[in-house]
Amino acid sequence: MGNHECGRRAGTWADRTGVINPGSFPISGIALDNSDASGQTAFVTIMGFHVSHVWKTSNAGQSWTDFSLGLPDSPANAVVVDSNSVPSTVYVGSDEGVFSTSTASPSWIEVAPTPNQPGFLPNVSVTALRLFNSGGIKRLRASTYGRGIWEFWSDFQAAFSNNPLTVFVGQTAVFAGTLTGSNGYTSSVDLSCTAPTALVCIVSPNKTTPTTSGVSITVTVTGPAGDYALNVVGTDPSGVAHNFPLTPHVVNFHLTPPAPSSITVNRPNSSVPVSFQATAAGSFGAAVDLSCTGLPSGATCNFQLSSTIFPTSASPVPVTLTISTSTVTPSGVFPLTIN
């Protein structure tokens, strides 16, 4: 084997952190802010004590801004940037927990619920941070020194107080909902409907930012009779997406044409039976009261077996009608309406 000399090419590397790290502490992390299309915005974290722990550059390290104001004076061990949140957010893992702020200016808050509540991150050293999307939810995971791996996520959800909902054909089903955010969720959410083509479905507003107390939303649905399943779809800039199912029942009923369509009745007497059916569409399940209008004086309308019926789409109800006249019923032709 021949002899080979290994070396480095002078001038290919430039020290970008000497000015911000005069103590030569370890640079623990570098994270790009992808919301800057130029690729020149980044954050670095520095370990050690009595130093500025987070720095930001917008020109690939030619100059830096101290981003440490509000952080505890303890080593910063990890950094990640969520460029898809609104606004973009930078997370830092330190010896005293996880902290976050907008990438625009430092205003650090600890990423943890109230102490002694479920999900509280112990006050221990955080050694690494990772952001990822799992199951449609954006998650932040932190490894700790001696206390395992912890997970945090902010998310949005929608709830509807009147789901499922039943309306008649020609009416509008109005679902009343609330869109809420949890764990500091701050992104805007685009809302839309995925529904069968027979339906017209509109979400209002179609874009909003949820809050912890909830933002009101409405979903209006119109269409022909039927039992439907649809989804309200919520998506945010990070790709977090949720489907919120709704069940509108659009119902109707109608009467088939009576047969025979005309009858002759002597006085006083009863007519031959007139037959028709009450049929229903969708999941109709209400009572239908039958009556007649247009009768001459002294005449009555009789339904067999009852003037109140309960038709369904699976079981139409056959109805028999007779007209009874009396000695005072006048002669003539009378149009009769079954209501």
Average confidence (pLDDT) per 10 residues, the chain, 339 residues: 52 84 92 92 94 94 94 95 82 92 89 58 87 76 89 85 94 96 83 94 96 94 94 84 92 92 92 92 88 94 85 89 94 93
- Max CA distance (Å), the chain: 132
Look-up: residue for tokens 């000497």? 18
Alpha-carbon distances, residue 159 vs 126, 189, 206, 207, 222 (angstroms): 35, 15, 16, 16, 20
| Token pair recorded at residue 98 | 């996880």
CA-CA distance, 8 to 211, in Å (whole number)?
Answer: 55
Kindly report the CATH class assigned to 27-153.
mainly beta
What is the sign, positive or negative, of the torsion defined by CA atoms of 257, 258, 259, 261?
A: negative
Alpha-carbon distances, residue 219 vs 165, 224, 236, 289 (angstroms): 11, 17, 19, 32
CA-CA distance, 141 to 150, in Å (whole number)?
Answer: 6
CA-CA distance, 101 to 271, in Å (whole number)?
Answer: 85
Q: What is residue 1's predicted lDDT score, i.e. its pLDDT?
A: 44
Are the C-beta atoms of 129 and 91 separated by less than 8 Å?
A: yes
Q: What is residue 112's predicted lDDT score, i.e. its pLDDT?
A: 66
| Token pair recorded at residue 110 | 């600890």
Q: What is residue 8's predicted lDDT score, i.e. its pLDDT?
A: 54
| Token pair recorded at residue 170 | 């020609």
CA-CA distance, 273 to 296, in Å (whole number)?
Answer: 18
Listed by start position, the domains of the chain span 27-153, 156-251, 256-338
Q: What is residue 227's predicted lDDT score, i.e. its pLDDT?
A: 93
Helices vs. strands in the chain: H and E counts, helices first: 0, 29
**Phi, psi angle pair for 250, to nearest 5°:** -100, 115
Our CA angle for 185, 188, 191, nearest 5°, is 120
Nearest to 265 by CA among 257, 274, 256: 274
Nearest to 121 by CA among 81, 154, 150: 150
C-alpha R_g of the chain: 36
Q: What is residue 6's predicted lDDT score, i.e. its pLDDT?
A: 52
CA-CA distance, 121 to 143, in Å (whole number)?
Answer: 11
What is the DSSP secondary structure assignment for residue 233, as one 8-state letter?
E
Look-up: residue for tokens 């932040």? 140
Q: Structurally, what CATH architecture does the domain formed by 156-251 represent? A: Sandwich (2.60)
Q: What is residue 11's predicted lDDT score, i.e. its pLDDT?
A: 67
On whether the pTM is more than 0.85, the answer is: no
CA-CA distance, 289 to 222, in Å (whole number)?
Answer: 26
Residues 6+ apart with CB under 8 A from 267: 325, 326, 327, 329, 331
Look-up: residue for tokens 């050694």? 127
